[in-house]
Each structure stands twice: as structure tokens, then as C-alpha cells.
A and B are shown apart, each in its own frame.
Chain A
Amino acid sequence: MIGFTAPFALWALPLAGLPLLTRWLRSSSVPRLDLRPAEGVSRAVDRGLTAAGVIALAALIMGLAGPYLRGGSLPYRGMGTNLVLLIDRSSSMDDTFAGRAPDGTDESKAAAARRILQDFIAGRPDDRIGIAAFSTAPLQVLPMTTSRSAIAAAITAQSERGLSQTDVGRGLALAMQMTRDASAMGSRAVVLVSDGAAVIAPEVQDLVRELALEQQVNLYWLYLRTEGARSIFDPGAPGEADSPQTRPERHLHLLLQRLGITYRAFEAESPEAVAQAVAEIGTLESRPILTERSLPRRDLAWLCFLAAALAAALLTAARALERPFAPRRPAPLVRQP
């Protein structure tokens, strides 16, 4: 697919027909004995010169129009997945794993998660990645893309102070909707990074259930457990209150288990545990994926100019080899008295 940067220049193309109307070499209306007869070779040279003239003019005009080969994307098979990162932006993510404000020695949960995710993404060139965040409302941060620079910029930007509450249900629904944009071949995965959960309204639960079945995503929950918080795997002592209100994280875990899709929860109490869990997600999510590599557009004007230069050189050579006419006027046929 060829495009032109200045297509209006192509209007000048009829000018390239000029060599058809005129001659390049000298011509004379007087017949001469030392001219070559009009046989095969001389006709070929004549037409060749006309063709060279047409080519030179046409190539220059085409080159001025700026032809280029359109860029695009080249599909190829890689190893990776269609991944949506769903990041918790509630303000508790700004605390450390010990539940305190970061004091320089310990990094906050959000900072640790960002650093580890950046490393994770840098090591997986074939993933298509989208990013969503949630707080009181779900936010689509970056639609699915293969551009590493955009992904890195979006993850770095999550270093801002967090927002207010945690509404994980609608965040999950948004992330699953974003996987609709996934490539046809390849698995879809949602990685939920959060340090807590909240009660999910029944209608949002239904929505998440429907979307999970529709999209068949693999769901991973990276639960950044603050020191002292109860484990999501702990069923609790007999007789202890076990309701979504008292233990929202455990009940989110139970909901996700019942979705009927591949689901794994990782509990991490330290940056090292987060890195370990992310590495495990990486090995689980290495499957063939049809993704694309973008091709830049390529300039073709130099080819036109090359053709023009060669044709003009040919014309120059023809003129250099051209035999001049007799330096003086022929003597009159009849001597003057």
C-alpha cells in the first residue's frame, strides 16, 4: 500500500509526456550522408532516449509527491497472554505491609507492586496489556496495547496518592470487559492487585459472573495482606462471625472461586512474596498468542530520485556522445559566378 505525502504534485505528471513531442538530440531538416540510416539500432536509441526522458520527468514528479509504503502491523505468534492489570487505588495501598506510612526503610504496598509489575512486563515482550484501576469508581487507565512505553508510563503514573474507597466488584467487571479487546488467539487473564475488598452488591456479582463466563478469563488475585489481617484461606473458628460485612476479603475469594473460571489467589505479606507470586503467574500465563508487531512507514522517494538520476545520466551520456554538425555551412552546390 503506497501513499503520498503531497499527492497534489501528481497533477504535474502529464508534463512527463513532453519528451514524446520534442527531441533530445540535434535534428536538422537538411539530409546528410553521414547520418545513420533509420534502421533498428537507431530507432531503439531514439525510443530509448524518449523513454529515458519520460522516466526522468515522471520519477522526479513522483518523488516530489513523496511516496511511502504505509506502516502497519505484522501479526506474529508469540508466547504470552492478553493481560488486564486491575490495580487497587484505595488509600490503604499507600501504607507498608506492616500497615504504617512508608518511612524510607519499607516501601509501600503500591510502590512494591508497581516495581514488581514493571519488571514482570519488561520480561514479557509478547503480552498485550491493558490497565484498569478502581477506587470508589472503576477507571479504565489504558486500553489493551502492545506498546511498552505506554504501559510503563501508565504504571508509573499510579504512584499518585490513592483515592478513597474500594469497590472491587465493578472494577472486576470493567477489567473483564476490557478483555473483549483481546486478540482472537491467546488466553485472557485478569490480575487483580489489591490489599482489601468490600461487600459486593448482588447485581454487580451477577454482572461479574456473566462476564467471567462470557470472556473465559483466567483470574489471579494478588492479595497484598497487611500484617495482622486475616488470611483469605482461613475459614475461621467455629461459631465466629463469617459474613461479607465482617470478612469481605474472604467472601470475595469465595465469590471468585464460584465463578466457574480458572482462578488462583496469591497471598503476599512482603515484596518478596509478591515477586514470587508474579513469577508464578508469569509461568502459568505463557501460552501461544497471536499478537502484532508494528511496522514504521518507509519512505520510497529515494527510489524515484535514483531512477531520475540514472535516466538523466543516460540523457547526459547521449548528449556527450552526440556528433556535432559540421562546423561550417556546406558549400553551395552551384559555384557563384
Chain B
Amino acid sequence: MRVRVILPAIAAILAGMAMIGPGLTRPQRLTDALVVVDITRSMNTRDMEGGSRLDYARRALTDWIATRPCGSRIGLALFTERRSLTLFEPVEICADFASIKGAMDGLDWRMAWEGDSMIQKGLDHALRRAGGLGVPLIFVTDGQEAPPLPYSGAARFAGDSPGGLILGVGGDQPAPIPKFDDLGREAGFYEPGDVQHAPARLGAPPPDAAQRPGWHPRNNPYGESDLDGSEHLSALRAEYLADLAAERGLGFLRLSDGPAAIDRALAVHAPGKTVPATRSLSPPLAAAALVLLLTLWVIGGRRVSLTRQDIT
């Protein structure tokens, strides 16, 4: 048959195939996660775009979850004191986005059942919890240990790490932490006298303790030179969190790095599951039909004319 007929027929067939919508199946990586959000007092510090760290974390995490592919599952938990508390186990994010967002918006420092902020203990508890659920962990914190760690530093982690990320939130400049009264009204900021600055009196004293003022081998083995500090101010303890993350097979980055960076880091540090995802071929087929038809219309406009020379 003639090209004049075959080409529009091909365009019609392409459009028909686009309607049926064949798809290419290819494996897609999905990563579930248990998101644990630190709700301790230091998260109220207002140094993230003028808002508190907790507000920023809620917003950034919701935005990040909104960019994830359907089929990924997210569980939500909170951390305070020395353990995490799971609000709900991982749920599919597209079907239950409203619930995830609602629960995320409901996260509040007033949920804290105790005021301690033992990051390392809470992190290890959350890791065990995430491991029990069989999903990677995403731990969102500013890394402020309250009370401060003993001189021996953080305890070693023993156990299987399910992988995941620590997301740091907070500014680099130490900022004051808001203080609230019994009825939840804000009442100024924490003063140096309100918090404990000295490392916990546990484990071995520092090696130079004998030179410190007030040292006594039996009654005061730690000395008294470490009673002042700046624990009433809070900044993101990025190095400390990076150390914790490295030891536990987790990645560390800042929440403010954005959803794309979090996805990349999660792909590196967390095992994903691959599910077949179908990508529709309709758009390329329809585009081909469109280009073909446009060309035909443009060419068709050329008049089949018998030129003057032919006639004369």
C-alpha cells in the first residue's frame, strides 16, 4: 500500500496502543523505615529557619515522606528519656498519608514522659525496635545528651543493626533552650544553673583528675573543674552523631540536606526490598503518534501542483 495511507494508519495504531497502555516492568527499590523523632526539650530550640527544631523536623519529614514512592512503608515513633515509643508500625505511605501526617503533626514535647535525653541509649533502643520490626531506622535528633555522658563516653553497641540513618537537626551556633512552666507556658530560657554540666559521675575519672582542684582520691575522684559549662545552650552535635552512626552501621546527614540527599543516603545505608514496578509506555507511544500526525499534516499542505512548465 501507499505510504500516504500507511503512515496515518501507523499513527492510529500507535494511539490505540497508547490507549491499551502496555508497561515495562522493572524492579524498583523500596525502603521502609521506622522514623524516630527526638521530642526532648532541646528540640524546642528555635534555630531552624526561625522555628523550633521539632517544627522543622515535622515539616521536613512530612515533605520527605511525600516524595517517596508508593509502596514504601513508614512507622512513627518518638524518643525521650532513654527509649523510643512506637506510635504505629510501618504503614503504606500512599494509602495512609493522612494518618502519618496527622500523627506527625501531633508530635509534641509535652508527650515526653520524662525529661532526660539519653541519645545513645535511646538510639540503641530504637535500633532494637526497628530490628524487631525488620525495617531500617531513621533517627531524627540534635544529639544533645542531657545529662552529659560520663568520661568513658557512649556505651558500645552490641547487636545487629538494621541499618538506616541519623538525621541531624539544629544549628551550628549554640542557641538557648526555651523553658516551660508547669502549665506549659513558656518561661524564658534555661540558665547555666538549671542544668547539669559535669559529665555523669560514672566509670573511670579522667586521667588528669589528680591535678584538678578539689580532687580527693576517695571523696572526690573527679575533681571540681568541670562543674561549669554550656550545656544550657544547644547546637547540633554533628561529630558525636556521626561517630554514633558510624559505629552502628548507620549513615549521618542533616535533615536540611533535603529529600533527595536523604534518599541517596538511605539507599547506601539501608537494605531495601525490590518490588516490580510497571512504567507505562503510553507517553512515548502517544508522543510518536503526535509527531507522525503533525508531520503528515505539514507535508499534506504541500499542493500537488502541475507547474506551469509542465503545462506549457
Contact = CB atoms under 8 A, between A and B. Distances in A.
B8 A315 contact: yes
Given A29-B305, A145-B98, A154-B88, A24 B300 contact: yes
Given A137-B113, A329-B310, A142 B88 contact: yes
A19 B297 contact: yes
A288 to B, nearest CB: 24
B114 interface: yes
A309 interface: yes
Contacts of B4: 319, 322
Interface string A300-337: 01100110110011011001101001000100100000
A165 B85 CA distance: 15
A26 B103 CA distance: 66
A309 B301 contact: no
B15 A57 contact: no
Interface string B90-133: 11100110111011011000111110000000000000010000
Contacts of A316: 5, 8-9, 11-12
B294 A15 contact: yes
A277 interface: no
Contact of A137 (B96, B110, B300): B110
A305 B95 contact: no
A57 B291 CA distance: 9
Interface stretch (B16-24, B46-54, B157-165, B222-230): B16-24
Contacts of B89: 153-154, 156-157
Contact of A60 (B99, B286, B304): B286
Nearest to B16: A309
Given A23-B301, A28-B306, A313-B12, A139 B294 contact: no
Interface centre among B11, B21, B298 (most CB of A within 10 A): B11
Contact of A157 (B87, B304, B306): B87
A147 interface: yes
A160 B96 contact: no
Given A135-B113, A142-B87, A305 B99 contact: no
Contacts, number: 173
B95 A149 contact: yes
B113 A24 contact: no
A130 to B, nearest CB: 9
Given A29-B306, A312-B289, A63 B18 contact: yes
Contacts of A329: 306, 310
A61 B290 contact: yes
A140 B106 contact: yes
A21 interface: yes
B287 interface: yes
A24 to B, nearest CB: 5
Contacts of A30: 305-306, 311
B303 interface: yes
Interface string A59-70: 111011010000
A329 B5 CA distance: 23
A18 B102 contact: no
Nearest to A302: B19
B18 A136 contact: no
Contacts of B85: 89, 139, 160, 163
A60 B15 contact: yes
A164 interface: yes
Contacts of A319: 4-5, 8
A261 interface: no
A41 to B, nearest CB: 21
B72 interface: no
Interface string A141-183: 1110101011001101100100111000000000000000000
Interface in B9-37: 9, 11-13, 15-16, 18-21
A262 B16 CA distance: 63
B293 interface: yes
Contacts of B87: 139, 141-142, 154, 157
A137 B75 contact: no
B304 A325 contact: yes
B111 A64 contact: no
A332 to B, nearest CB: 8
B256 interface: no
B111 A137 contact: yes
A60 B293 contact: yes
A334 to B, nearest CB: 10
Contacts of A164: 113-114
Interface string A5-35: 0000000000100110111111111100000
Contacts of A59: 15
B8 to A, nearest CB: 4
A53 B96 contact: no
A178 B86 CA distance: 19
Contact of B305 (A28, A57, A150): A28
Contact of B294 (A18, A89, A136): A18
A252 interface: no
25 contacts: A18-B297, A18-B298, A22-B297, A22-B300, A28-B304, A57-B293, A60-B290, A63-B286, A139-B78, A139-B85, A143-B106, A145-B99, A150-B96, A153-B89, A157-B86, A157-B87, A157-B88, A165-B113, A302-B21, A308-B15, A312-B293, A313-B9, A315-B293, A316-B9, A329-B306
Given A29-B303, A316-B5, 4 more contacts: A53-B297, A147-B99, A149-B96, A313-B12
Interface of A: 15, 18-19, 21-30, 53, 56-57, 59-61, 63-64, 66, 89, 135-143, 145, 147, 149-150, 153-154, 156-157, 160, 163-165, 301-302, 305-306, 308-309, 312-313, 315-316, 319-320, 322, 325, 329, 332
Which 10 A-B residue pairings sit nearest by Cβ, starting from the closest? A22-B301, A312-B12, A143-B102, A305-B19, A150-B99, A309-B15, A154-B88, A136-B113, A309-B16, A308-B15
